Every structure is written in C-alpha cells, then in structure tokens.
Chains A and B, each alone.
Chain A
Amino acid sequence: MAVRPIAPDVLTTGSPPRLIGGRHRASGRMVFPLPQDRESYERVELPSRGSLWSYTVQRFAPKSPPYRGAQPFQPFALGYVELPGALIVESRLTEVEFDELRLGLSLELTATVLRHDEDGTAVLTYAFRPLRDARA
C-alpha cells in the first residue's frame, strides 16, 4: 500500500519517526514546523519522546476546509507534548483511551494514517502515543 507524509519536512520516515523542527541560528530558539527561511533556521530532528503538557478531545468534526481527515469523523484526542530540551509541540494523541489522559503521561512519537487519498494512498501525519515500555 502506498503511503505518503502529509507534507514534506514535517516528519521523517524512519522508525521511530522524528518531527522536523528548526533552530534559529542567531538565538538558538527552537521552532516547529521548520520555517522556509533556511538562512535563519537550521533543520533539526526533535526528540521522539516527551510528556503530556495539556490535552483535550476533539468531539465534533472540524470544518472542511481546512480539515481533511478520514470520513466519517471519529473524535480524537490532541494536546501539547513537552519534548525535553526542545519545545512543547501540538499533536494528535493516539492509541490511548480518553480517560487515560493525564498531565505528565510519558509519550512517544508515531506516524498515523490521517486519511486515504482517492487513489488509495495512505496520508500519514504524526501523533504521540503512550510509551509502552514505560507503562510495563
């Protein structure tokens, strides 16, 4: 099955995937996503593990456009994940029950299918899921 990332330069295709951010060359400040301006920003891969900083559940279907998720709409969790030494990134949360969500929950990055294109190509976006070995 063909797959493609939702856009170039958002996440790497390795296992585990990594988010692609930018480091401001002058100030050292980290940003996400990587800005177009590569003279000012250096490409960096962000840490793949972090902890849940805040969260909510998207209970209703966002407006389309701009939303282009799988149909029919299923509620999904999202939040902000603190990546140590880097930044706090906004992300979908996956493979977790809504009532399991807690501040500080240990998470790892994964790729998840947002939708399928008309030709069947799976469109991948990023999400964080509970860090399995940390829970064992």
Chain B
Amino acid sequence: MTDVFIVGIGIHPFGRTDSRSGLQQGEYAARAALADTNLQWSDMQFAYGGSDAAGKADTLVTQLGLTTLPFVNVLNGCATGGAALFGAYNAVRSGDFDLGIAIGFDKHPRGAFDPKPADWGLPDWYGESGLMLTTQFFATKLRRYMDLHNITPITLARVAEKAYHNGSLAPHAWRRTPVSIDAILGAPMLNDPLTKLMFCSPAEGAVALIVASEKKARQLGGPAIRIKAISLRTRPQGSFEVFAPYLDLERGGSATTVASRAAFEAAGLGPEDIDVVQLQDTESGAEVMHMAENGFCRDGDQEKWLAEGRTRLDGALPINTDGGCLACGEPIGASGLRQVHENVVQLRGTGGARQVARKVRNAYSHVYGAPGVSAVVILQC
C-alpha cells in the first residue's frame, strides 16, 4: 500500500453565485485543481464526487471531458465531501490508481433543508407537532452540555465572532464582514441559547482535490501534502442525533468521537500533535462541543480557551481558520472538502492574511452531519 498525497486543490467561492449552477461550480473547482497541479482532466484515472442537492456529480464529464474514467458518485449528507475523499484515498492507497480527483459541490436555495418525516422513517405527526427541526437538535444538545460543563453564552458569541473575523480574511468565504460579540448576542434568538448569528446557513460552493500516490507526487514535483489518516464513521448506540423522538437512557459516544479516535490511531498521533484544526461548526455550540469530542480539550475548558483566544489565528491551536461553516455557509456536498482545502492552504503556508502564526506540520479536519456520520482527515507536511 502506498501513502496518499494531496497534490492539487481548487475551490469555487462559497456563498451565492446566481450565475452558476452547482454543477458549474463543481466544474470550476475541478479546473482550478487541475490548473494548480498543471494537469489535464485526461490525466485523471478516476473521480469520486458528490452533491446533496445540486445534481449528479458524474455528469461533470460532459464538460470536463469524455475520457471514460470511472466516476463514483457519493451521497452521505454533510459528510459527502469526506466520503468522496475517503473513496479517492482508498483508490490510490490500494495501488490500483496513482492519480485521481475528489469533487464536492452544492447549491441550496435560501432556507433550504425541509425534511419530510417519511424520508427519515418518522411518522407524520412528528413533523406536524413542530418537533422536526434541525435547529432544535443543536440547541438541546448544546443546552445540556452548557449546563453540565459551565459554558456561558459569551463563549458561543466568541466562536461566531472569530468565525466572521477569519472569514473576512478568506477570499472564498461568504460572510466577509466582521461582526461584534454584542451584535451576535443581540441577534434574534432562534432556539435558545442560539441566536441567528450563531448559526450557519445553507449556501453554495465547490471544492476539488487531486490525490496521488507517493511516486506520482514525486514525479509531479509540486507541493504534496500527505494524508496521514482518514476515517469515516457512522453513529454508535446511544449517540444523540438530529430528529430523535427518543434517546436511550444509556448514553454513548458520537460518530465524531469514534471517527476521531480511529483517525488519531491510524495516524499514530494525538491531539497534542495537531497544529491547526477545522471543526464542524453548524452553529457556535457545535464547534465548542466538537473541540472536546475530538479530544482537543476537556469538557468545560472551552470557556477559558475562547476567553484567552487560544483558537484564534495567532493562538496556540487555531480552529476554523477560514471562518468555517459560520462564515462560508454550508453547501453540504462541498463543506468537508473545504476544510481539507483550508488545511492544505495552511500547510503550504499560503494562507496570506489568515495564515496561522504558529508553525504547521499536522492539520486536522472534522465534518459531522445527519443522521450521525462523521469524517476526520489528518494531513501532514
């Protein structure tokens, strides 16, 4: 088995681009990644791609070229991008291929995500009675966590303030204007304790990553970032997920805790070895809880960490350096690959105004989504 490297990256700006379909944004990102590597589409031996709501990824061959390459579509909710990279990684690692591409894209209309109970195996009355909202899940998981571990609302606001600040420095981000802590706390309350400015929004965007074997990466000669580990996991018994009419009394871990441990184990690294982190931040509290679920701090430490600015660009452990989902929005199929893209940028040292202050050798990204799936990628340079 060979090690696997990321040798090219491309991104279509996140946010709203009325002039381009989701597929066109995917094409844009793929072409950008090819240009980044000085490669042609005809050099690609395989592709993995996915979008949740913006079309079939394999139809991209119409625009990119009818080279007859195998193109596998993936669909894993918020972990779609992670699943695409997981597939691409294994295709190269197995030795069957030595150069391929992972593409994730999406385009969600304003206020998207209106789930139907039957699609989730739930009775109609669950939706009728007003219990079928993703925001309720985030709020109730967070409320309990905050009360048990003494986290206060200002910590949630600090997470969002950091996100909008970092987003203002990232050319691909959607929200590029800094927002004050007071404005975040004073925004309309949606589901207590979360205000409107603590939530990310459905959005648009695309990312493509070109992966290569060690031999191929050396031949290409450009910057190569090693995929030290990648894990994709579904939920264990006793986890707390979106749209749960009940929970087991006996509480368990989460897809995140399982994926995180597996990735650290495969990498032979621990949280203390990581220099920069991208975490799923569907809302401020998710970043707070995921800091602990991924092993970077103990439950409750977040209050102090955020107050001290430890997760800012100039801190000891920068988190969500391009503003995360809060500043970039969440095009489901692209979101997990955006995190990996950002870590490649940080490892290459090309982050410009958002380049972290500390030296970066190991970078960690974590995506999580319904109905309890998580992907973790650890990169090394």
Contact = CB atoms under 8 A, between A and B. Distances in A.
Interface residues on A, range: 35 or more
B128 interface: yes
Interface residues of B, number: 36
Interface in B150-192: 188-192
B247 A67 contact: no
A66 B127 contact: yes
Given A59-B188, A69-B129, A78-B130, 12 more contacts: A53-B247, A55-B140, A56-B193, A57-B192, A59-B191, A59-B192, A63-B114, A66-B127, A78-B136, A80-B144, A80-B247, A89-B246
14 contacts: A6-B125, A53-B144, A57-B192, A59-B191, A66-B114, A66-B117, A67-B127, A67-B130, A67-B132, A78-B136, A78-B140, A87-B246, A89-B245, A92-B130
B272 to A, nearest CB: 31
Contacts of A33: 123, 245
Contacts of B131: 78, 90, 92
Contact of B249 (A7, A82, A103, A114): A82
Contact of A90 (B190, B246, B249): B246
Given A7-B125, A67-B128, A125-B129, A57 B189 contact: yes
A85 B140 CA distance: 22
Contact of A98 (B190, B192, B247): B192
B261 interface: no
A87 B131 CA distance: 17
A30 B247 CA distance: 9
Nearest to A55: B143
Interface of B: 111, 114-117, 123-133, 136, 139-141, 143-144, 147-148, 188-193, 244-249
Contacts of B144: 53-54, 80, 103
Nearest to A6: B125
A66 B201 CA distance: 20
Contacts of A54: 140-141, 143-144
Nearest to A114: B129
A29 B248 contact: yes
A30 B132 CA distance: 21
B213 to A, nearest CB: 45
Given A33-B123, A56-B143, A59-B189, A68 B246 contact: no
Nearest to B116: A66
Interface string A49-90: 000011111111011011111000000101110100111111
Contact of B125 (A10, A60, A62, A90): A10
B129 A6 contact: yes
A80 to B, nearest CB: 6
A109 interface: no
A66 B244 CA distance: 16
A58 B143 contact: no
A111 interface: no
Contacts of A63: 111, 114
B247 A62 contact: no
A59 B188 CA distance: 9
Nearest to A87: B246
B130 A76 contact: yes
Interface in A72-125: 76, 78-80, 82, 85-90, 92, 98, 103, 114, 125
Interface in A26-44: 29-33
A80 B140 contact: yes
Contacts of B140: 54-56, 78-80
Nearest to B148: A103
A90 B247 CA distance: 8
Given A29-B248, A87-B249, A92-B130, A58 B191 contact: yes
Contacts of B111: 63
A60 B135 CA distance: 11
A130 interface: no
Contacts of B189: 57, 59
A121 to B, nearest CB: 14
Contacts of B248: 29, 87-88
B273 to A, nearest CB: 34
A31 B127 CA distance: 18
A56 B245 contact: no
A80 B115 CA distance: 21
